[in-house]
Structure 1
Amino acid sequence: MKSNFRHIGLAKLCGWFGISRQAYYQYNWETISSTLEEEMVLMQVRDIRSRHRRMGTRKLYEILHPFLLENQIKIGRDGLFDLLSANHLLVRRRKRRIQTTNSYHRLRKYPNLIREMIPTAINQIWVSDITYWKLGEIHLYISFITDVYSHKIVGYHVG
């Protein structure tokens, strides 16, 4: 049985698409080379992440840099982000739990005496607020006294 298909040469096929044979082979070689490099980087990332599960991409890039230079792999920080994202290896950021003041309590709440007042000069109305910073296990409380008209801090205390 005789085949009805004719064999088309690579040069003619490349000519139809407007590329040279050299460009065809170069593209195939670069694709194979970049795939191998990406696999090498992913193996290194998985190895590092086996010891440091929550290490971010920026730190990973710093640790991988000598490996990349040694193996002549050209990938930047953003390229590493893209590679890890494509392979579902980015570490998700933990959401910060912000604790705010609980205003729903049975203690006495004082009325707002300046609600209807509009200041026309400095030092007519001062307001105060307290906040805190948590530094490790230590809580620092800071209280500000602010002038309503100028919005300047006229006093504070840290404890």
Structure 2
Amino acid sequence: MAMTEVFMGNSKQYTDEFRAEAVKQVIERGFTVVDVASRIGIPKHTLYGWVQAAKKTVPAPGATVAPSDSAEIRRLKAELRRVTEERDIPKKSRRVLCQGVRAKYAFMRAHAREFRLVAMCRVLGVQRSGYYAWLRHGASAREREDQRLLGLIKHHWLASGTVYGYRKITLDLREAGEQCSRHRVLRLMRAEGLRAQVGYGRKPRHRGGPAGVVANVLNRDFGPQAPNKVWVTDITYIRTYEGWLFLAAVMDLYSRQIVGWATASTMTSDLVLQALVAAAWRRKPGPGVMVHSDQGCQFTSSDWQSFLKAHRMVPSMSRRGNCHDNAVAESFFSVLKKERIKRRIYPTRAMAASDVFDYIEMFYNPIRRHGSAGGLSPVEFERRYAQSGD
């Protein structure tokens, strides 16, 4: 098989799509070469070469001509600004509209750079003289500390992609040296309208049934004691205006790290094989690693079974119609759709694949905290395991 031959070679290969997405993180998103290389697990000099090659093909930007700022345009801009403020201020201040003037003053101070003071006074129904008097009096030490802490909370919440709730934000703050309780973080986040992403509702599923083509060797033992002992894999689909984009992912159960993944416009055995080959390239496991899947036709194909046998991997399959036998893989797809896809439809398959790369390689593996990993990211959890020398 072609894929087997590529894997057995000495050189580590990367697809054109992988290279393009890695370069995009540096050129378009502003990450450093060292940061991106460490997150996705490639040598920094390799990524630097990709970036330099890509820059040579980018045309120099042309000069832009600023529009004339006539009196009519200035008048229209002022009118647009007034209408926009009268629309946006009530939306952001709805939590303080029915509260006292101190709460309104605090909102005005927090949004002083976003809205004009005269507009906020008009919408909130307060006087500028009262606001200035409140500023001169000053906030209490507790209020000042809450504002400082809220700034840190917003930073970590945005850094997580607006995904984390108060528990994970509290872990981030404590790791940064802050002393605060999760109840205080919850209060501040709730007052500011910051919340974790909420998942989809559960659908009823059929359970039980006869044994599959391969025995359920895993048997819901989702807690291996070391990396590269048990991998789980599954397929999901993502909506685009060009049609479905299918995603296959391979996860290491020890750390919950996605060790291999692939996308395609069709759901064939080649898709799952590409994901498994990517995992083998990245991890280079020894013989005996268990690979657990459901009983989909892609995993019962002769190509899949032959690859496992050729590389001395142990196959395992869920019982027919029992999704809980592969619950961890399905949980990852639920998290992906909850935290990143969020029920939207991508314009193209390429844009969807690019967003998947950004989520898995730039956030999920190196940064996102996991309760099963002691509140650490998968990469950090495995790094500490390697340092322990077990």
TM-score (norm 1): 0.35
Rg larger for: 1
Q: Which has the higher strand share?
A: 1
* Structure with the larger helix share: 2
Higher relative contact order (CA 8 A, sep 6+): 2
